[in-house]
Amino acid sequence: MRIVQALVFTAAATLSLGAFADPSIAPSSATASAVMASSSHSAYRLTQDEAEHMRGAFRLADGRTITITNKMNKLFVDLDGKREELLPVAPKKFITRDTGATVAFNQVPFADEVVVNQAAR
């Protein structure tokens, strides 16, 4: 008799917890893939050590100079008087958060050549 009562209690508890579930979330693993798909940038992450070794001033082929700085594991570029965060998309390739310009380093760490493409997104 106690087993039946325990089973009934467990079933009732399961049903009542299901009422608190968010109906907008699919009950499958599709949630994880949807989250990954909604991100426009890759899942590549930069370590603080990598970011520190990428700092410096770099002369571009057109004669302009860009400055790369970091704050923890985030990189920032100063280009044409504007400071933007660099989002990593690959180990040596970044995109600026606001304008979508790409910044590519020839090697990481200690890059000696940087290419900037400021074409529109």
Q: Where in the sequence is the domain holding 74, given as residue range(s)?
A: 48-117
Which of 14-23, 40-49, 87-96, 112-121 reaches the highest mean pLDDT? 87-96
Whether the model pTM is above 0.85: no
Judge whether residue 28 has pLDDT over 60: no
Q: Is 64 contained in some domain?
A: yes
Per the structure, the count of domains in the chain is: 2
pLDDT band with cut points at 50, 70 and 90 for residue 83:
very high
Shared domain for 13 and 66, answered yes or no, is no
Q: Is 100 contained in some domain?
A: yes
Shared domain for 85 and 104, answered yes or no, is yes
Please give the full DSSP string across 11-46, using - where no structure is assigned: HHHHHHHHTTS-TTS-SSTHHHHHHHHH-SS-S---
Q: Looking at residues 38-63, what average pLDDT do you find? A: 79
